[in-house]
Structure 1
Amino acid sequence: MVDNLTPKQRSYTMSRIRSKDTTPELKIRRLSHARGLRFRKHKDGLAGRPDLVFSSARVAVFVDGDFWHGWRFPQWKDKLGKYWRQKIEGNRRRDQRNFKKLRREGWLVLRIWEHEVKKNAEACVDRIEAAVRARASESARDRQ
């Protein structure tokens, strides 16, 4: 795939793409909050700055875009130009490093993909709620 934009046009286009408060992320946050789940957003000091952080349960949630984070990347990477292939491969490596670091620190890491939110956002929040409630109850048992 050849980039048919000038560098100036590409820069402008890329500047319009948000990394925070994306539509799928906003939907998951709204539904989670409606269920009574309380969280922090993009918490500093945690690897990858997860989109939702449930500190007491030690659950970190990432709501990732299919393209930018390479969902099923091996199936379509050959269709991309060198720049985009390297960009997404780098994103995937960074994601794995961040997930491993969080797990070593005792966090449960959940990844919600953009296509999952579009298909059934309630099911995504079901996963989050189940994990948070299970980890919170484990934590309460451990303190007793």
Structure 2
Amino acid sequence: MPRDAKTISKNMSKIHSRDTSIELILRKALWHKGYRYRKNLKSLPGSPDIVLTKYKIAIFCDSEFFHGKDWEILKLRLEKGKNPEYWVKKIERNRHRDWENDKKLLFLGYTVIHFWGQDIIHHTDECIQAIEEAIWEFNVSQCSDISNEEF
């Protein structure tokens, strides 16, 4: 089904980087569990989609296409499609930027979690469970820090 440039441009203009449907699903689930968060915190590298500042957890809700899920397979598909140079370069740049931001956040003491969009949609409870495990690990590390200070 060939599409003209005008149709493609219209579709691409509707893709947003903030308040995406997958972010809204995850934020709503976190809110119902009683977790409070900041969204798109610009003071942190990569402006994470959701930040649990109390627990130093940065969460990214990544779309499979733009962040290169199963990159080797996707790359082969892109190379056969329209404008392969642009898309391969763009997604590789996105993946590298994600990796750089993760390193910076880890250096700042944050736990970084990435979820794929389809995982958020179909396995929201498992995503929340992963976040709760990170919270538990943060709390355990805080307790061990306090007990080490006493001696």
TM-score computed with the length of structure 1 as normaliser = 0.89
SS in structure 1 at match of 2:34? coil
Structure 2 regions of 5+ residues with no counterpart? 79-83
1:1-144 correspondence to structure 2 within 5 Å: 4-6=3-5, 8-80=6-78, 81-143=84-146
Structure 1 regions of 5+ residues with no counterpart? none
CA contact (8 A) 2:55 2:138 kept: yes
Deviations 1:89-123 (A, max 9, x none): 11101100100110111111001111211221111
Greater helix share, structure number: 2
CA RMSD, aligned part only?
1.7
Q: Higher RCO, 1 or 2 (CA under 8 Å, sep at least 6)?
A: 1
The Cα shift of 1:79 comes to 1.7
Paired with 2:143 and 2:50, the residues of 1 have a C-alpha distance of 21
The Cα shift of 1:4 comes to 4.3
- What is the total number of aligned residue pairs between the two structures? 141
**Segment drifting more, 65-74 vs 126-135:** 126-135
Paired with 1:39 and 1:143, the residues of 2 have a C-alpha distance of 25
Give the % identical residues.
Answer: 35
CA contact (8 A) 1:69 1:92 kept: yes
Point out the structure with max Rg over C-alpha: 2
Paired with 2:59 and 2:144, the residues of 1 have a C-alpha distance of 23
CA contact (8 A) 1:56 1:136 kept: no
Structure 1 residue identity aligned to 2:89: Q
